[in-house]
């Protein structure tokens, strides 16, 4: 049977993540990959989770195996709220939490509940590729705001908002931002810019989607507060995840925000997957209670700081004349801007032949720019692989 006539219009807007396709190419070869976005499995508390997994089934019994409410297991949502509050992410009286199947589902629900064709989404430039891919099937227009070492340039955002027509302004559905240890940019928004961003949201009546996978294991003693914490008027919908601070495989993410907004996300989720894994939610609940999440964050901080430092050193040695790069205080990525005007996308296949993989940075830019950039992951490869891989990459780009 030929299925072509059956595909919907939006199916055309779907495309496989280039990162995942790349990883497939690299499989089984002697390739050092900086292309992935995997946590270091060393951070996974395997023994603790093995104990927890059987404990929760023994303790909660059939409850841990039965259907759960769409918003999530009530006890888990309560525990999560207190934990977030301890972490400095403010939970207001009017707020509600919904558990999602990874925070990727949060992005998808945002797309469904908020976006129509021709609506406007404002993002950082570059921004998280899988967020773009979650928003794209709704066919919005994207506006990208440049970043520098202090995060999103909110002055540029202000200029753009000022210059927009009333009609276009009414089409802006949200500003999507990863303020802390941005992916892929590797930068963190200063407190001043955070405040400015919230002022602009207030002035122009805008919603902010704060995607925050990394702030809980920042390596440096920097001062910052979540936009969610600074927000006074329910203008921030906060997306979080246990993928990097416990295990990505359990697929536990969440959204925190005003209950009127979150309840629409809940309604959408009901038709999408009824609810996220009950078992995984109890695992995360127990891991919070036993301090396993806190322990994992400490471990992640230590391991990732060391790996980042190794990558920064290697870049200093091999990329000095080739480009500039970010010095992230957290997260899992360094972003490189090459001096030469080359297109890193076709070059990537040649780099693979030299035994090293990266993600061409252009995919992260909503406006087709960024051809001469690349994203490097430091969380997954070993320190030795980082040293050797950056050397290979430096030699590769020097020869171009």
Restricting to residues 259-278, which ones interact with its own copies according to CB under 8 A? Answer: 260-261, 264, 267-268, 270-278
Given the complex with its own copies, which of 216 and 235 has the nearer CB atom? 235
Taking CB under 8 A as the binding criterion, the range among 15-23, 184-192, 300-308, 335-343 that sits at the site for its own copies is 15-23
Given the complex with its own copies, which of 102 and 185 has the nearer CB atom? 102
Taking CB under 8 A as the binding criterion, the range among 115-123, 210-218, 297-305, 347-355 that sits at the site for its own copies is 115-123
283 is an interface residue for its own copies by CB under 8 A: yes
CB of 120 to its own copies, least distance (A): 12
54 is an interface residue for its own copies by CB under 8 A: yes
398 is an interface residue for its own copies by CB under 8 A: no
Q: How far apart are the first and last CA of the chain?
A: 47
- How open is the CA angle 125-38-367, to the nearest 5 degrees? 15
CA distances from 360 to 162, 213, 336, 345, 357 (A): 33, 22, 10, 5, 9
Q: Residue 394: CA atoms inside 13 Å, Cβ hemisphere, count?
A: 18
50 is an interface residue for its own copies by CB under 8 A: yes
Given the complex with its own copies, which of 137 and 240 has the nearer CB atom? 137
71 is an interface residue for its own copies by CB under 8 A: no
Q: Please confirm whether the linkage preceding 91 is cis (ω < 30° from 0).
A: no
Residues 207-226 binding its own copies (CB under 8 A) are 207
Question: Among 26, 57, 81, 230, which residue interacts with its own copies (rule: CB under 8 A)?
Answer: 57
72 is an interface residue for its own copies by CB under 8 A: no
39 is an interface residue for its own copies by CB under 8 A: yes
Strand 172-177 versus strand 120-125 pairing type: parallel
The DSSP letter of residue 40 is P
Strand 95-100 versus strand 333-338 pairing type: unpaired
Given the complex with its own copies, which of 68 and 347 has the nearer CB atom? 68
Question: Among 228, 251, 307, 308, which residue interacts with its own copies (rule: CB under 8 A)?
Answer: 251
316 is an interface residue for its own copies by CB under 8 A: no
Question: Among 30, 66, 321, 368, which residue interacts with its own copies (rule: CB under 8 A)?
Answer: 66
CA distances from 236 to 77, 127, 194, 233 (A): 19, 18, 12, 8
Residues 132-191 binding its own copies (CB under 8 A) are 133-134, 136-138, 170, 173-174
Taking CB under 8 A as the binding criterion, the range among 62-70, 151-159, 324-332, 383-391 that sits at the site for its own copies is 62-70
CB 198 within 8 A of CB 230: yes
Taking CB under 8 A as the binding criterion, the range among 100-108, 190-198, 319-327, 382-390 that sits at the site for its own copies is 100-108
Tokens 């490869």 belong to which residue? 381
Taking CB under 8 A as the binding criterion, the range among 78-86, 187-195, 249-257, 341-349 that sits at the site for its own copies is 249-257
Given the complex with its own copies, which of 190 and 377 has the nearer CB atom? 377
* Bridge partner list, 176: 123, 209
88: CB partners within 8 A, 6+ apart: 225, 226, 229
381 is an interface residue for its own copies by CB under 8 A: no
Length reported for the chain: 400
Cα–Cα dist 51/325, whole Å: 42
Cα–Cα dist 254/78, whole Å: 12
250 is an interface residue for its own copies by CB under 8 A: yes
CB of 4 to its own copies, least distance (A): 9
108 is an interface residue for its own copies by CB under 8 A: yes
Q: In this structure, what token pair is assigned to residue 187?
A: 């930068």
Strand 253-258 versus strand 95-100 pairing type: antiparallel
Question: Among 180, 247, 344, 372, which residue interacts with its own copies (rule: CB under 8 A)?
Answer: 247
CB of 95 to its own copies, least distance (A): 13
Tokens 């629409």 belong to which residue? 264
Question: Among 85, 86, 116, 398, which residue interacts with its own copies (rule: CB under 8 A)?
Answer: 116
The 10 Å Cβ neighbour count of residue 206 is 19
Cα–Cα dist 372/352, whole Å: 17
Question: Among 87, 112, 225, 305, which residue interacts with its own copies (rule: CB under 8 A)?
Answer: 112
234 is an interface residue for its own copies by CB under 8 A: yes
What is the phi/psi pair of residue 41, to 5°? -60, -20
Question: Among 28, 30, 62, 165, which residue interacts with its own copies (rule: CB under 8 A)?
Answer: 62
Strand 95-100 versus strand 141-148 pairing type: unpaired
């Amino acid at each position: 049977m030929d299925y072509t006539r059956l595909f919907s219009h939006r199916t055309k807007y779907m495309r496989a993540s280039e990162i995942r396709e790349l990883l497939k190419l690299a499989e089984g070869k002697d390739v050092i990959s900086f292309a992935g976005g995997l946590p270091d499995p060393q951070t996974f508390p395997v023994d603790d989770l093995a104990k927890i997994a059987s404990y929760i089934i023994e303790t909660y019994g059939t409850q841990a195996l039965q259907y759960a409410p769409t918003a999530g297991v009530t006890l888990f949502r309560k525990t999560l709220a207190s934990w977030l509050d301890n972490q400095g992410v403010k939970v207001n009286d009017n707020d509600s939490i919904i558990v999602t199947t990874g925070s990727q589902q949060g992005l998808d629900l945002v797309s469904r509940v908020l976006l129509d064709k021709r609506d406007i989404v404002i993002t950082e430039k570059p921004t998280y590729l899988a967020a773009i891919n979650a928003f794209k099937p709704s066919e919005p227009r994207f506006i990208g705001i440049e970043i520098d070492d202090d995060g999103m340039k909110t002055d540029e955002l202000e200029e753009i908002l000022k210059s927009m027509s009333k009609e276009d302004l009414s089409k802006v559905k949200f500003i999507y931002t990863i303020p802390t240890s941005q992916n892929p940019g590797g930068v963190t928004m200063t407190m001043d810019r955070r405040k400015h961003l919230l002022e602009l949201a207030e002035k122009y009546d805008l919603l902010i989607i704060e995607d925050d996978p990394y702030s809980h294991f920042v390596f440096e003693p920097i001062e910052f507060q979540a936009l969610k914490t600074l927000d006074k008027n329910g203008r921030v919908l906060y997306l979080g995840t246990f993928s990097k601070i416990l295990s990505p495989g359990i697929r536990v993410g969440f959204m925190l925000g005003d209950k009127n907004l979150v309840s629409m996300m809940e309604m959408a989720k009901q038709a999408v997957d009824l609810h996220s894994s009950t078992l995984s939610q109890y695992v995360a609940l127990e891991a919070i209670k036993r301090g396993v999440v806190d322990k994992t964050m400490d471990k992640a901080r230590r391991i990732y700081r060391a790996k980042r430092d190794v990558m920064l050193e290697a870049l200093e040695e091999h990329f000095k004349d080739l480009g500039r790069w970010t010095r992230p205080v957290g997260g899992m990525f360094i972003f490189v801007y090459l001096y030469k005007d080359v297109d890193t996308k076709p070059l990537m296949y040649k780099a693979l032949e030299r035994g090293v993989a990266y993600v061409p940075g252009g995919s992260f830019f909503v406006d087709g720019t960024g051809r001469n950039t690349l994203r490097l992951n430091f969380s997954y490869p070993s320190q030795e692989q980082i040293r050797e891989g950056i050397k290979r990459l430096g030699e590769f780009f020097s020869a171009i």
